Amino acid sequence: MNRREIIKGGIVAGALGALPARVFAQPMAGSLRDRELFAIAKRELDKAGDAIWKRDIVGIADYGVRSSEPRFHFVNLGLGKVDSYHVSHGTGSDPEHDGWLNNYSNVEGSNATSKGAYVTWEWYKGRYGTSVRLGGLDPTNDNALRRYIVMHRAKYAEQSHLERWGRLGRSNGCFAMGEDQFRIALLNLSGGRLLYADSLGLAADGSRVTPPAPEPKPDLKILQPDPPQGEQILHPGVY
């Protein structure tokens, strides 16, 4: 490749980021799941408007799929393709630690994942090394900056952890990824792009994933001991 071709390629790549979503190519793979992800990416870009200033790649975290599956989708609108990786969810969203996200929260201290659209901001050095700040764009995640919800690398999101435990570890609500996959995210999804999180439940073949029903909680009444005969209960429920 000569110097003129390299310069030309750089100009084209830069122009893709400025193009409106409506002119991007359709997914090359043509799978049912990828077509739906493509439509969601364009829908959320339209909703976000000027809050997003790089519109070539959209990240979609599908928390309707178990953490053992690649559920963080890089929807490349310029090339018309989807690449999928692993991502963790928060401890407050999965208290059973079974790999399934059960609930979202936008509350400080919940350690839960928040749903909605985010804008990716600048890199910074934090507890997990280089990380990416996020700004929540919806009422369901507008506390993201205050809660320190970011994208970062983590050992509990590595393939080795998945192979040992059959699921990823949990974050404090952040989008945690393995080293290699986070490096891809750092280069392709930071600096003003859109990240969207929701429970879509899209399997690789386009079918819908059905999470298992939560296990019933034990009846606490059965666990309470009977008071001794003739003894007055001064503090009911305390024993």
Residue range 18-23: average pLDDT? 40
- For residue 53 the two structure tokens come to 């200033």
pLDDT tens per residue, range 126-141: 888 999 999 999 999 9
Report angle CA 218, 219, 222 to the nearest 5 degrees.
Answer: 120
pLDDT tens per residue, range 3-13: 333 333 333 33
> Which ranges of 51-105 does DSSP label H, i.e. alpha helix?
none
Q: By mean pLDDT, which of 160-164, 201-205, 231-235 is the weakest? A: 231-235
Residues with Cβ < 8 Å from 71, sequence gap 6 or more? Answer: 61, 62, 63, 65, 84, 86, 87
- H or E stretch at 14: helix 3-18
Q: How confident is the model at residue 213 (pLDDT cuts 50, 70, 90)?
A: confident
Cβ–Cβ < 8 Å for 171, 89? yes
> How many residues are recorded in the chain?
239
Which residues face 76 on adjacent strands?
Answer: 57, 81
> Taking the mean position of all CA atoms in its chain, how far away is CA 9?
31
Which of the pair, 35 or 22, is modelled with greater confidence?
35
Segments of the chain assigned E as strands: 57-62, 72-76, 81-85, 116-126, 129-136, 150-153, 175-177, 194-198
Q: How far apart are CA 189 and CA 83, in angstroms?
A: 12
Q: Which of 104, 122, 143, 138 is nearest to 193 (CA)?
A: 122
> What percent of the chain has a predicted confidence (pLDDT) above 90?
72
Which of the pair, 96 or 228, is modelled with greater confidence?
96
pLDDT of 23 reads 39
pLDDT of 211 reads 86
Q: How far apart are CA 122 and CA 12, in angstroms?
A: 24
Q: By mean pLDDT, which of 8-17, 95-104, 113-122, 159-168 is the weakest? A: 8-17
Q: How far apart are CA 166 and CA 147, in angstroms?
A: 28
Report angle CA 71, 210, 136 to the nearest 5 degrees.
Answer: 45
pLDDT of 27 reads 53
Q: Which of 176, 183, 186, 189 is nearest to 149 (CA)?
A: 176
Q: Residue 227's CB: how many other CB atoms inside 10 A?
A: 11
